[in-house]
Structure 1
């Protein structure tokens, strides 16, 4: 008996729903016929205006396509906007035309609500498409203008395109469902939990991916720049999805994760107007004070003759085996091979000038004194006779 009652109730509900839908459909067509009969002039005028709007929007879309075709080299903002405009869909154009003239045509309430709903759906998803094109265009513009290349980075852009598309269309879907009267609180919470789960599962990949984006937009360095970090000095060869490759000056390729690289102190030594060379110079303690006073001027002359500019040439301190001077000089440009050649000229010039001036560069030496228990200095080997010099021609002397 209970099953039979339930079945009967279900049949009654289905019948009532069918009857209600049939009644609404009949009322809709009745209102539509009445509307056509009483507002035919407004409908014709609105249709003509809608056709004009439709063709105008189509012309705007064609203009965007032509703007994209004319672009050469890295895309500018005009090309990016043109690309976004060219992605305008026919459904959005039709619903925009209908929405703009619906107020003048005064359609029935049900038809007006239908037009409003369809326009909302079209506008929300079209806005998502436009936003996607602008965001991706801005990223591609940065990667092209700042000389970032490589298959790995192209893969990164593909992943970015997927993430941006999914995020924007998920937001669009939530907005549409909210306009339908659906409670989207649970859906938003579910999307949030799912996003957190995915983020935790791939946090390493996302950390390096966002680090790569930070490198692209913040521009601490670019491909081809000379950088130094820790004990590595080299040229950036490739900035990828997860790592950056740096070829050191000794020929090795160092691969370091993007996140770890940004956590370090990086010195970008590219595009400098000069290279500064630091060169310590030590002379013997037996050098006369007059020569010590003239030494900065001597060093300055040697550097200028080699093609450099002295930044500092001065007394540094008293070392263990020498009187120490410090020489800093600049070499124009940022070419290290040229700088090394100039540095070699300076070193050879210092050796030649010191030899001509009688200035000696001492070896590291240590003098040991021997004393007896009373503290009196004594010769360590008193029985050793001095070595006599023997000349081959004159014999012993």
Structure 2
């Protein structure tokens, strides 16, 4: 009994397999099954190109039935046999895959290819498949120059070719291109199938419905954001309110375009119409994604500034602004490059072009870039801050602003001087505003004839008065009878005054000088002023 069941299984197994896999020639089957996935796609002549295309498409269809996960690899090999240089970058892969399936379906319905009759000569520039308008031409330019590829005109018209022969049966020994009718054909009535601008009536209606659904979703997301915002207002922190304000707008737009992007395959649009619609939807999606990243970077920057202010950290505000702007620019550039890559653009070539353009820009704007890097070094090294009184490059005054190009200094004459940061970062900077004490060195002259007791008492009294003041550094006070001047007895006074500003220094010096005058009045000491005494030895005699 077991032998009989085994015999029945052996006999029925080929029949069951024949119901799953479409018929194909024995030669084609053996070639495909024995071929390695790494077998090169040869396009050296029309015969190699046609053989490579047909072999890859047969393998693609077999892989679809076997469900071994290699169907996409074989289809990509078939697409490599076609000239897609004249198709739009957006959707180029989809257009190539569709054209490959259509052409395979057309060929298997109209002709059995005899590869011995396909030329191997490389001298001719164009070859046409007998009885069809399917042509293979030699590439005259581009990365694939001198290769023979299925022409761009054939790729563009592949959909029309298939529409003409679609009702024809597959020829014996062929398996087609794996075409399956879209689900819309079974549901859409014939009255909605006519096309306008390459788009059927039902597709226009479906696009309108998707736009309506996207707008409804936009309002729903906006309403949800409003509810979340009301909840965050009840919390004790404020960062969640700022986060909701930053994200509600971008997420609203991103959700709308996301629905349109995800529903793009439902439309079933192909050809140029698909290229245009896919470009618009993908472009809007990644622009909104870049906007979301920009707002997130702005939120992070705002939180950094708040954190610094709350902790009273001594960090340059200009540096914080620079970091914030850099984060936003990097977020924008990253999302835009991501979008460009997903839309089929060669990002590596784009970056290389930007690098060359950046080099040219750097050479043309080297002074501007030098000032920019100078500002960064000033912000990092911090030799001075806003409000400090400095002396640099022959300019003395108070720093009002540290910009990305120059530093603005307000001079004692109330004029505003801008010094380029590239020069300022290399200059010797005397930061007078960083002084803890300001040195005061003066010479006072008292009149000749002042008794030595009063001179010594005057010096001692002034010395004690200065040491007693809180604004004067007590261990650095020097008051001495120093020299016999031309018209006075000179008293040298040297002390260090603690004052944050020029106005505070003047106020303290006035108080000190008033005390000095009071001490002189109490000791009856007069201050000398420049005088000159002329002694006449004799008077000349008057003439007779």
Distance change in 2, residues 1:59/1:84 (3 Å): same
Distance change in 2, residues 1:168/1:268 (3 Å): farther
- Measured after TM superposition, the shift of residue 88 of structure 1 is 0.9
- Measured after TM superposition, the shift of residue 120 of structure 1 is 9.1
The equivalent residue for 2:413 is: 250
For 2:437 and 2:368, the matched residues in 1 are separated by 37
For 2:220 and 2:260, the matched residues in 1 are separated by 14
The equivalent residue for 2:360 is: 197
Q: Secondary structure at the match of 2:182?
A: helix
User: How many aligned positions are there?
Assistant: 316
For 2:379 and 2:241, the matched residues in 1 are separated by 20
Matched, 1:175 2:328: no
Distance change in 2, residues 1:51/1:12 (3 Å): closer
Distance change in 2, residues 1:302/1:15 (3 Å): closer
- Give CA deviations for 1:220-240 in whole Å, capped at 9, x if unaligned: 533xx2421235443344555
- Measured after TM superposition, the shift of residue 85 of structure 1 is 0.7
Q: Secondary structure at the match of 2:441?
A: strand
The equivalent residue for 1:349 is: 515
Distance change in 2, residues 1:180/1:385 (3 Å): closer
Q: Secondary structure at the match of 1:250?
A: coil
- Measured after TM superposition, the shift of residue 16 of structure 1 is 3.5
Q: Which residue among 60, 84, 87 is the counterpart of 2:249?
A: 87
Distance change in 2, residues 1:8/1:96 (3 Å): closer
Matched, 1:295 2:463: no
For 1:308 and 1:350, the matched residues in 2 are separated by 16
- Give CA deviations for 1:299-328 in whole Å, capped at 9, x if unaligned: 3325757x8444431368967966744222
Distance change in 2, residues 1:4/1:130 (3 Å): closer
For 1:215 and 1:56, the matched residues in 2 are separated by 49
Distance change in 2, residues 1:99/1:187 (3 Å): closer
- Measured after TM superposition, the shift of residue 131 of structure 1 is 3.3
Distance change in 2, residues 1:194/1:182 (3 Å): same
Cα RMSD between the aligned structures? 6.0
Q: Secondary structure at the match of 2:369?
A: helix
Q: 2:461 touches 2:519 (CA, 8 Å); kept in 1?
A: no
Distance change in 2, residues 1:185/1:251 (3 Å): closer
Larger Cα-atom Rg: 2
- Measured after TM superposition, the shift of residue 343 of structure 1 is 0.9
* Paired residues for 1:1-397 under 5 Å: 5=127, 9=135, 10=151, 12-16=154-158, 27=180, 29-30=182-183, 57-59=221-223, 61-62=225-226, 81-94=243-256, 125-136=287-298, 138=301, 168-179=331-342, 183-209=346-372, 220-222=384-386, 225-230=387-392, 231-237=394-400, 242-264=405-427, 265=429, 267=431, 269=433, 276-281=438-443, 295=459, 298-301=462-465, 308-311=471-474, 312-314=476-478, 324-331=492-499, 334=500, 336-354=502-520, 356-357=522-523
Q: Secondary structure at the match of 2:180?
A: helix
For 1:168 and 1:28, the matched residues in 2 are separated by 42
TM-score (normalizing by structure 1): 0.53
Q: 1:313 touches 1:326 (CA, 8 Å); kept in 2?
A: yes
For 2:329 and 2:473, the matched residues in 1 are separated by 59
In structure 1, list runs of 5 or more residues that go unmatched: 35-49, 70-75, 111-116, 147-156, 365-383, 389-397
Q: 1:278 touches 1:326 (CA, 8 Å); kept in 2?
A: yes
